[in-house]
């Protein structure tokens, strides 16, 4: 577990009886007295802590490796490092961030099945040994660029000649999965792959991500874990010697962030409209055809850009040069930080907080945790 001071975290402790919504309202009042009306976030790190408590209770056998690409906020990564989680890194930059906080390389998995050779070499030089692959080409690349890699994958024929240590199997059901039985099938398939690898000492199962980050989704977190746990007990029992990890991303941060925006325009739309969304505009020759030529990049080796973020989703892009909103970090319980620093998790306490906002980290009074967080080392 990493130990940090309040100065390292750079967040505001909320007094007892206050929650993230109070900070949002306070900040709005402050901005209303000035010309600064830009959007801002309030991020409740106490909610991140609460999610970790919930995870440990729901899946005690599964060690979370936080997917840094989901939200690479230093404060979020630092909070999870303090809780002893591992980290799923997809790039050199993410590895640098995590290691700058003192996280041991054994708590990092380089989970990118298509890696640059230069970044594989960087991972090798900085002690990161676990990584994923999904093709023989990638496996050869890892063998050429990494001195002591331990890939998690499923290619057997290339293993012997390359001198690599294949340690397990990884899968990802996809974000937004609405059928929990998908996990059962994937775990069953992983068992088949383990059985196919006779002669290989595989000790790691990575069940990926896709876990919901809020309770307003069709499929609840506990509904998923209620399927995963029996499947693990059936195909990878506790005495099998197989370590199980996962790569949650949005699960940890989705409900922790509250965005406040300034409404700058309104549009009046009549309730009754004659047009139908189902009509085919092309049938009436009303299709607007516009061709916007774009560079092919055939004359350069690459184009450097951060416009689209790690997911290539418009939701994570910048727009016309507007800056990203400021983020104000809070911890919704004043004693949580001290208990983290003391290498123990805070005892759950029922606290009042208006509904619909990031809830306090000690909301679930029924949680019982071990004295220390689940270890995240997999060799």
Active site residues: 69, 172, 247
User: Is 156 buried (19+), middle (13-18) or exposed (0-12) by CB count in 10 A?
Assistant: middle
Residues whose CB falls within 8 Å of the CB of residue 155, separated by 6 or more in sequence, listed in order: 133, 135, 136, 139, 166
Q: Are 354 and 22 in contact (CB under 8 A)?
A: no
Task: Please state, in angstroms and as integers, the Cα–Cα distance from residue 73 to each residue in 18, 58, 107, 303, 377, following that order.
Answer: 23, 26, 18, 25, 23
């Amino acid at each position: 577990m990493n130990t940090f001071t309040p100065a390292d975290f750079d967040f505001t402790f909320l007094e007892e009886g206050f929650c993230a919504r109070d900070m949002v309202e306070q900040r709005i009042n402050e901005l209303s007295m000035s010309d600064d009306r830009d959007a801002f976030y309030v991020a409740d790190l106490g909610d991140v802590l609460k999610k970790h408590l919930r995870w440990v209770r729901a899946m005690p056998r599964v060690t979370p490796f936080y997917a840094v690409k989901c939200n690479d906020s230093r404060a979020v990564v630092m909070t999870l490092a303090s809780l002893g989680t591992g980290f799923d890194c997809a790039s050199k930059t993410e590895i640098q961030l995590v290691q700058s906080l003192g996280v041991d390389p054994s708590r990092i998995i380089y989970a990118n099945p298509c890696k640059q050779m230069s970044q594989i070499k960087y991972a090798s030089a900085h002690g990161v040994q676990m990584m994923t692959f999904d093709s023989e080409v990638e496996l050869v690349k890892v063998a050429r660029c990494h001195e002591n890699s331990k890939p998690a994958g499923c290619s057997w024929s290339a293993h012997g000649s390359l001198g690599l240590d294949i340690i397990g199997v990884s899968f990802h059901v996809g974000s937004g999965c609405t059928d929990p039985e998908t996990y059962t099938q994937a775990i069953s398939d992983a068992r088949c792959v383990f059985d196919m690898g006779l002669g290989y000492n595989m000790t790691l199962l990575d069940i990926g991500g896709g876990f919901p980050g809020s309770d307003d989704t069709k499929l609840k977190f506990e509904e998923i874990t209620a399927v995963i746990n029996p499947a693990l007990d059936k195909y990878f029992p506790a005495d099998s010697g197989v370590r199980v990890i996962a790569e949650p991303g949005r699960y940890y941060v989705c409900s922790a962030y509250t965005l406040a925006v300034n409404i700058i325009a309104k549009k009046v739309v009549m309730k009754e409209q004659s047009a139908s969304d189902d009509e085919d505009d092309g049938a009436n020759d009303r299709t607007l055809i516009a061709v916007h030529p774009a560079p092919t990049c055939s004359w350069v080796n690459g184009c450097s850009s951060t416009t689209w973020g790690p997911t290539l989703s418009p939701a994570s892009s910048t727009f016309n040069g507007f800056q990203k909103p400021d983020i104000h970090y809070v911890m919704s319980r004043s004693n949580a930080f001290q208990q983290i620093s003391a290498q123990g998790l805070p005892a759950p306490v029922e606290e009042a907080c208006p509904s619909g906002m990031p809830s306090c980290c000690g909301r679930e009074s029924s949680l019982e945790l071990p004295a220390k967080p689940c270890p995240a080392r997999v060799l």
